[in-house]
């Protein structure tokens, strides 16, 4: 009886050690996901460098996907890489000109580059598309005051 209990305890310990060494669920994107889907996983986790890598791969395969450039722009803003953020949002706007948020984030990139006149123009386009947006109005008021 003691021998059987010792075997069960040993097997339980082996199982515990094995489970500890297994990768955690969701730790890495699955291999059968597209680059865009993998990028989204890293983006949502705040892993900007890995997300950028996968979004760039996705852009090479689907260069007209506006969401890719919007995400890249957001990544670059988070990394304070305003030059690349500006390019990403401009590319997004070249694909789809009616997205007010792309103009808003482009204005933020311009502000990071100290291009206040361009920031105001971009923000005005955002306000033209969505005049009652409080975030747009707040930033415009801040630009006008300073």
User: Domain segments of the chain: what residues?
Assistant: 63-145
Q: Which long-range contacts (CB under 8 A, 24 or more apart) does 109-117 make?
A: 109/73, 109/76, 109/77, 109/82, 109/83, 109/85, 110/82, 110/86, 111/143, 112/77, 112/80, 112/82, 112/85, 113/82, 113/83, 113/86, 116/143
Query: Class of 63-145 per CATH?
Result: mainly alpha
Q: What's the average model confidence in pLDDT over 129-144?
A: 95
Lowest-pLDDT range of 11-20, 30-39, 85-94: 11-20
Tell me the two tokens of residue 48.
Answer: 């900007």
Tell me the two tokens of residue 109.
Answer: 């990139």
Nearest to 125 by CA among 146, 106, 138, 143: 106
Q: What is the pLDDT of residue 20?
A: 66
Tell if the pTM clears 0.85, that is, is over it: no
Q: How confident is the model at residue 3 (pLDDT cuts 50, 70, 90)?
A: low
Tell me the two tokens of residue 21.
Answer: 């060494």
Residues in the chain: 146
Lowest-pLDDT range of 19-33, 35-49, 117-131: 19-33
What pLDDT digit, counting tens, does each position of 49-95 carry?
Answer: 999 999 999 999 999 999 999 999 999 999 999 999 999 999 999 99
> In this prediction, what percent of the chain has a pLDDT beyond 70?
83
pLDDT for residue 25 is more than 80 = no
Q: What is the pLDDT of residue 142?
A: 92
CA–CA distance, 126 with 53 (Å, rounded to integer): 29
Tell me the two tokens of residue 11.
Answer: 């097997």
Q: What b/e string do you get for 64-88 counting C-beta neighbours within 10 Å, with b at 16 or more?
A: ebebbbbbbbbbbbeeebbebbbbb
> In this prediction, what percent of the chain has a pLDDT beyond 90?
77
């Amino acid at each position: 009886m003691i021998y059987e209990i010792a075997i069960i305890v040993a097997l339980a310990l082996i199982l515990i050690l094995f489970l500890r060494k297994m990768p955690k669920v969701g730790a890495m994107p699955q291999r059968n996901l597209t680059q865009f889907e993998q990028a989204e996983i890293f983006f949502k986790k705040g892993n900007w460098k890995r997300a950028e890598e996968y979004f760039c791969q996705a852009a090479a395969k689907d260069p007209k996907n506006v969401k890719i450039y919007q995400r890249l722009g957001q990544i670059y803003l988070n990394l304070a890489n305003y030059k690349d953020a500006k390019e990403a949002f401009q590319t997004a706007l070249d694909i789809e000109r009616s997205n007010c948020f792309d103009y808003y984030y482009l204005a933020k990139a311009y502000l990071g580059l100290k291009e206040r006149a361009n920031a105001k123009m971009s923000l005005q386009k955002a306000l033209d598309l969505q005049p009652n947006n409080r975030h747009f109005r707040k930033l415009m008021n801040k630009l006008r005051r300073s």
